[in-house]
Each structure stands twice: as structure tokens, then as C-alpha cells.
Amino acid sequence: MKTPIYYASMLIVFILLGVTALTYSGDEPFNKVISPKKSIISNGGYVIVKGRWKKSGGTSKLNTNNPPIINTVDVVCDKGSMTCEEYIAKLVTTKDIGSTYESPPMLTIDTTMFKVIDWSDDTIIAKASFFPSDYMLRISVKDNYAERLRQETKARGDKSADPNIYEKWLLE
């Protein structure tokens, strides 16, 4: 069942996507596109995270940049259902995919459902499993900190997956 917080978050994401699309010009530097200020708020049985993911490290040799440089994120964690839903609005450019072919930027939105594996007084750890990678969210309300990790795993039968390959993003 979708909650009012879900619909409000989706509305905000779509408004931000629209503003970004209408104001983006391929000649502008990427740092001129703004996202909402970093915010991590606890409200009853919910934790709401807003901001932008910025890649901070990793060993992946692929130039996926996913999420790309220009993004905005809303995460809504619900203690009652022990889930976190992540909404990432993305403006994908040729710089993000490592292409020399000029193509228009593509505006997309991704939604990922994470299962909370630990919810202490002020920290949430949540996991989403895909082929061939696991994704983790670590959120600390007290420290105003959130990170997103992707790590390859052989857990679902991908023999070519390398657990030493990972990517890390920090909320800003």
C-alpha cells in the first residue's frame, strides 16, 4: 500500500526532474545543476533521506556511473514494514557512459526496494539483492550520514562475479 509520504516524495522527484530537464544545457558545467540540500530526518516510524549521491570510491573498472553525476535521491524507510524505498532521478549524459558519441541527455527515474536488516536507535542498514550485485544503504540519523554501496557477489550463481569489485556513494 502506497503511503502519503510515497506520493509526496514522488511528486518532489518529478518536479525536480522537470526543472533539471528544462534548465539543462549541454554546454553548462555539471556543477550548475542543483539537488535538494542533504537532509536525514526521523519522523515517528519513518526516516526520510534527501540529497544527491556522489561517487566516493570503488574498484569497478566499468564506467557505469550509476547513479550518474547529475542525480537527486529520496529514500523513505518505514520501520513498520522494515523496508526502505529509494527513488533516484537521473540525468544521464555521454560523460556518464564514457561515450564519445554526442547524444542528448536522458532523464530517468529508478526505484529500488531495500529490506532493512538492522534498525537501531539511530542507524539503519538495508539491502537489495540483484544479479550479480548486492546494494546496501547505511543511514545514520545521529551523524547525518548516508552511504550507498554496490558489491558483486557469486551468491546467485554468477560465476564471473568478483566480490572484490565494489562502488561507494556518499549522500551530499
pLDDT in tens, 121-144: 889 999 998 877 889 999 999 999
Cell, residue 85 = 524505498
pLDDT of residue 97: 66
Residue 71 has pLDDT above 80, yes or no: yes
Q: Which residues pair with 51 in a beta bridge?
A: 73
Q: Helix, strand, or coil here: 123?
A: strand
Question: How many other C-beta atoms lie within 10 A of the C-beta of residue 105?
Answer: 18
Alpha-carbon gap, residue 106 to 172, rounded angstroms: 22
Place of cell 566499468: 62
**Which distant-in-sequence residues (6+ apart) come within 8 Å of 34 by Cβ?**
none
pLDDT of residue 62: 60
Alpha-carbon gap, residue 115 to 129, rounded angstroms: 9
Please report, for the chain, the start and end positions of each structural domain, with discontinuous segments joined by +.
4-171
pTM comes to 0.77
pLDDT of residue 163: 73
Q: What is the band of 69 on the pLDDT scale with cuts at 50, 70, 90?
A: confident
Q: Helix, strand, or coil here: 95?
A: helix
pLDDT of residue 49: 97
Residue 153 has pLDDT above 70, yes or no: yes
More confident position, 114 or 2: 114
pLDDT of residue 10: 62
Q: Which residues pair with 126 in a beta bridge?
A: 116, 137
